[in-house]
Amino acid sequence: MIYDVCVIGGGPAGMFSAFYSASRRMNTVLIEGNHELGGRLNLFLDYEIYDIPGQFGVLARDYKRALIEQLKVSRSNLLLGEIVEKIENSDELFYVTTTQQTILAKTIIAATGNGFSEAKRIEHAQISKKIQYDQPAFKQYEGPIAVIGHTPMAADWAIQLMGYGNEVTLYTQQELKIQPILMDGLANNNILIYKFSEFNDQAYEAVFCHIGSKKYTIDFKGCIAQRDNGLTNCRGYFVAGEARYEQGKLKLIHGATHDAMQAVNAAFQYIHEGATYQPIVSTHDPIFKEWLK
């Protein structure tokens, strides 16, 4: 099977790329290294987002759910839990090797955000089972809570958990590397900060840790100097979302989904030589009503 479009990354840019690509009648596969879609949205599921047009105060969790529902309507192929390790290209085809298989595609949309990463684990054999590396559920817990980490995310978790009436202590292995506004947040909430060497997990009902992430990079020699509009110097290889960089670009969801449409359009034009630049608007396209049947 040769796919028209292989989307790498299942964050907002990747999910919307796959949806939009399928709507342009391209046979599409989306590969996500995590076992769950959502990308960076998974880091702040219980936060409200205010800067997506028409979505004032939407919970990241709800926005993620809406993106997944929209993607699923398109019946794009999804490969979850497969990290793309290597890409090779020859004879106008891309060979995309994941941790489990090799996929063939005519085009690539790299929507890899900041790259595949996993939360760094803390080296502490006795307590490792108790430590949770995902975003905490923001609620009132029965007992005291510990947060471990020196990152802005760890500080933010501590402040948010305090806001739910919890007793929170922050433990750091190294100097806090956080913005003044977060430093003020810790001080204003009277959050106690101790060295990690003083940590004793017995005292806590739950322990959350954010000490940064371990990053994996894709081995691809065929590319890629990026140009404007998500185009690259490699024919058939396009970039969308946070992975796409250009002077002054904002790293926000709204732009990421706009990039996705541009990248899909570029892939469509690459596959269908001579296709007009402007796609048909969705209101005039019968495919969406067919999908909803």
> What residue ranges bind ligand FAD (CB under 6 A)?
8-14, 31-34, 39-41, 43-44, 49, 51, 83-84, 111-116, 216, 218, 241-242, 251-254, 256
Question: Shortest distance, CB of residue 100 to ligand FAD, whole angstroms?
Answer: 11
Question: Shortest distance, CB of residue 201 to ligand FAD, whole angstroms?
Answer: 26
The answer to whether 262 and 278 are in contact (CB under 8 A) is: no
- Cβ neighbours of residue 193 closer than 8 Å, sequence gap 6 or more: 169, 170, 171, 172, 176, 186
Question: Shortest distance, CB of residue 95 to ligand FAD, whole angstroms?
Answer: 15
Question: Shortest distance, CB of residue 203 to ligand FAD, whole angstroms?
Answer: 28
Using the minimum distance from each CB to ligand FAD, give the nearer residue, 204 or 238. 238
Using the minimum distance from each CB to ligand FAD, give the nearer residue, 54 or 286. 54
Rounded distance, CA 35 to CA 81, Å? 4
Using the minimum distance from each CB to ligand FAD, give the nearer residue, 12 or 204. 12
Question: Shortest distance, CB of residue 31 to ligand FAD, whole angstroms?
Answer: 5
Question: Shortest distance, CB of residue 222 to ligand FAD, whole angstroms?
Answer: 15
The answer to whether 19 and 71 are in contact (CB under 8 A) is: yes
Tokens of 76: 């794009």
Using the minimum distance from each CB to ligand FAD, give the nearer residue, 4 or 32. 32
Using the minimum distance from each CB to ligand FAD, give the nearer residue, 137 or 275. 137
Question: Shortest distance, CB of residue 271 to ligand FAD, whole angstroms?
Answer: 22
Tokens of 172: 């750091």
Q: Percent helix, strand and coil across the chain, each rounded to 5? A: 30, 25, 40
Using the minimum distance from each CB to ligand FAD, give the nearer residue, 98 or 201. 98
Using the minimum distance from each CB to ligand FAD, give the nearer residue, 227 or 251. 251
- Cβ neighbours of residue 146 closer than 8 Å, sequence gap 6 or more: 168, 169, 170, 171, 199, 201, 203, 204, 206, 207, 208
The answer to whether 257 and 13 are in contact (CB under 8 A) is: yes
Rounded distance, CA 243 to CA 18, Å? 16
HSE (side-chain half, CA atoms, 13 Å) at 133: 14
Closest residue by Cα to residue 106 from 3, 28, 8: 3
Nearest 5°: phi and psi at 275? -65, 145
Using the minimum distance from each CB to ligand FAD, give the nearer residue, 124 or 212. 212
Question: Shortest distance, CB of residue 252 to ligand FAD, whole angstroms?
Answer: 3
Rounded distance, CA 263 to CA 25, Å? 15
